[in-house]
Structure 1
Amino acid sequence: MSAPVQANGARRIRVGQIVPSSNTTMETEIPAMLRARELILPERFTFHSSRMRMKKVTKEELEAMDRDSDRCADELSDARVDVMGYACLVAIMSMGTGYHRQSEQRLHARTVANGGPAPVVTSAGALVDGLKAMGARRVSVICPYMKPLTKLVVDYIESEEIDVHDYCALEIPDNLEVGARDPMALVDIYKQVSLQGIDALVLSACVQMPSLAAVPVVEAEAGIPVVSAAVCTTWQMLGKLGLETRVPDAGVLLSGRY
């Protein structure tokens, strides 16, 4: 399905997101990046969400939530979105190594069966692919999760042949509390992880922990590429849409080089 064209000739694109019910960040950071892009490039975006129940970031709640993602894919494909993002990194990574590929294929198949085929991006897969696109083989990572879930995230990244040199677990179990954090707190928190010999810093390996405002600040201060799960998701959505991967003030991954 081709996206509609506005009267001024700009392509209008519908962005769908499968969002945990307690997530308050992906529906702000993804639109913020794409609205900033609209100031320098012609495409125009609208945003549409379907929600899966989840309040506490525990393995049990994440597994139950993931089972609800099929319904969300059906609902968003009813709206004939042009691209679909699964907005929960840890839900995918807690399901076992490589699960993002299985999830993306299954959810895409749901859109096809519903007559509204759309590419599906998972934040987990986008983080891995974004790091690989930059040639990052050694990274440090900041997570809001409890230590056992953070270790699952670290193991998942390493299963994709990216070495995690160091990581920080902020140990916040309540998802609303994660979403209420000040993104600029990360300007101090990142100094708690070793940057020695790394190719990139994952400032937020969680699409619920706000980080967008801090990404360019930390990147300039640390002198290394800085990404977040939300930045990587935006990058991969643009790629799936065949658009230039350029967003102002969102770090080097969205500079248009990759």
Structure 2
Amino acid sequence: MTTTPFRIGQIVPSSNTTMETEIPTMLRAREGIRPERFTFHSSRMRMHKVTREELEAMNQQGLRCAAELADARVDVMSTACLVAIMAMGPGYHRQVERELQDVVRANGCDARVMTSAGALIEGLQIMGAKRISLLAPYMRPLTDLVVEYIEHEGIEVVDARCFEIADNLEVGRRDPLQLMEDVRKLNTSGVDAVVLSACVQMPSFPAIQRVEDRLGTPVVSTAVCTARRMLDHLGLAPVVPNAGALLSGRYPLSTATGKAAAAY
């Protein structure tokens, strides 16, 4: 058993107050049942309003942040803004991951590099989800771009409700348990999964397991998917208590293929 903690790195919008809370909350809960330990590190990109213009400007700062986190020799590194990636067009997370990986390697770091946008897609694929419904805080035009992005990856979005909150700090102040009522207005009939928060700034973790238990359908968030893929990249069992199906151990990865094995 390793005694050296894994270093978790995140590239975070300056107004994000959630990912440096929810990711540690999940991995600290995991520490209660597994031997591995974690430390948490971040670098920030300026952003206040969730508009396409501010998102484009923020994206230009990502390479600087990757270099800074590389200096800390983190073990895994992820962006912490889904819409900034998805608003730039289908498949953009793959380009960002390549660019960030190049910077990380150039600075002498071996960290695995990922994005929260890619993590959501990959998390849904791991569960075999073909039809989903989602909740998001974005303005409707940005929500539509998120839906188009997900559907371009072969996942049908049956319903998408958005709260049209432009101020990113206000998104972070939202009561996560309000989602238990919000989801009642969402069409979840016949879906394979519900994305309770398609935004890493909108808090959702306290509601994930409760909504899943009530619906009887797998429930995830972008933060849950991000934690899952971090564990996958670190080669650790993707298990976090009370974090929904994706982190329950029901969907292990095949070490040979890197894809989901059959659920047990």
Range of TM-score over shorter length: over 0.9
Q: Specify the alignment match of 2:182 in structure 1.
A: 189
After TM superposition, which residue ranges in structure 1, 4 or more long, deviate above 4 angstroms? Answer: none
CA contact (8 A) 1:37 1:248 kept: yes
Give deviations 1:23-42, integer Å, cap 9, x for gaps. 00000000000000000001
Q: Secondary structure at the match of 1:214?
A: helix
The RMSD of aligned alpha carbons is 0.8
Q: Secondary structure at the match of 1:117?
A: coil
Displacement after TM superposition at 1:117 (Å): 2.2
1:211 aligns with 2:204: yes
Alpha-carbon distance between aligned partners in 1 of 2:14 and 2:135, rounded to the nearest angstrom: 23
Alpha-carbon distance between aligned partners in 1 of 2:5 and 2:112, rounded to the nearest angstrom: 16
Q: Secondary structure at the match of 1:16?
A: strand
1:33 aligns with 2:19: no
Q: Specify the alignment match of 1:92 in structure 2.
A: 85
Give deviations 1:152-202, integer Å, cap 9, x for gaps. 000000000000000101000000000001000000001111011100000
Q: Secondary structure at the match of 1:97?
A: coil
CA contact (8 A) 1:245 1:257 kept: no
1:54 aligns with 2:47: yes
- Residue correspondences, number: 251
Q: Specify the alignment match of 1:44 in structure 2.
A: 37
Displacement after TM superposition at 1:10 (Å): 3.1
Q: Specify the alignment match of 1:82 in structure 2.
A: 75
1:179 aligns with 2:177: no
Alpha-carbon distance between aligned partners in 1 of 2:243 and 2:4, rounded to the nearest angstrom: 22
Alpha-carbon distance between aligned partners in 1 of 2:123 and 2:248, rounded to the nearest angstrom: 12
Answer with 24-33 or 112-121: which moved more. Answer: 112-121
Give deviations 1:47-92, integer Å, cap 9, x for gaps. 0000000000000000000010000000000000000010000000
Query: Counterpart amino acid of 2:168?
Result: N
TM-score normalised by the chain length of structure 2: 0.94
Q: Secondary structure at the match of 1:124?
A: helix
Alpha-carbon distance between aligned partners in 2 of 1:208 and 1:86, rounded to the nearest angstrom: 12
Displacement after TM superposition at 1:11 (Å): 4.0
1:222 aligns with 2:215: yes
Query: Counterpart amino acid of 1:48?
Result: H
Alpha-carbon distance between aligned partners in 2 of 1:222 and 1:23, rounded to the nearest angstrom: 29
Alpha-carbon distance between aligned partners in 2 of 1:113 and 1:245, rounded to the nearest angstrom: 29
CA contact (8 A) 1:11 1:42 kept: no
Give deviations 1:215-249, integer Å, cap 9, x for gaps. 00000001100000000000000000000000001
Q: Secondary structure at the match of 2:235?
A: coil
Q: How is 1:103-142 mapped onto 2 (pairs within 5 angstroms)?
A: 103-142=96-135
Alignment match of 2:246 (pick from 246, 253, 257): 253
1:151 aligns with 2:144: yes
CA contact (8 A) 1:84 1:121 kept: yes
Displacement after TM superposition at 1:206 (Å): 0.2
Structure 1: any 5+ residue segments left out of the alignment?
none
Alpha-carbon distance between aligned partners in 2 of 1:158 and 1:253, rounded to the nearest angstrom: 20
Structure 2: any 5+ residue segments left out of the alignment?
252-264
Alpha-carbon distance between aligned partners in 1 of 2:126 and 2:95, rounded to the nearest angstrom: 21
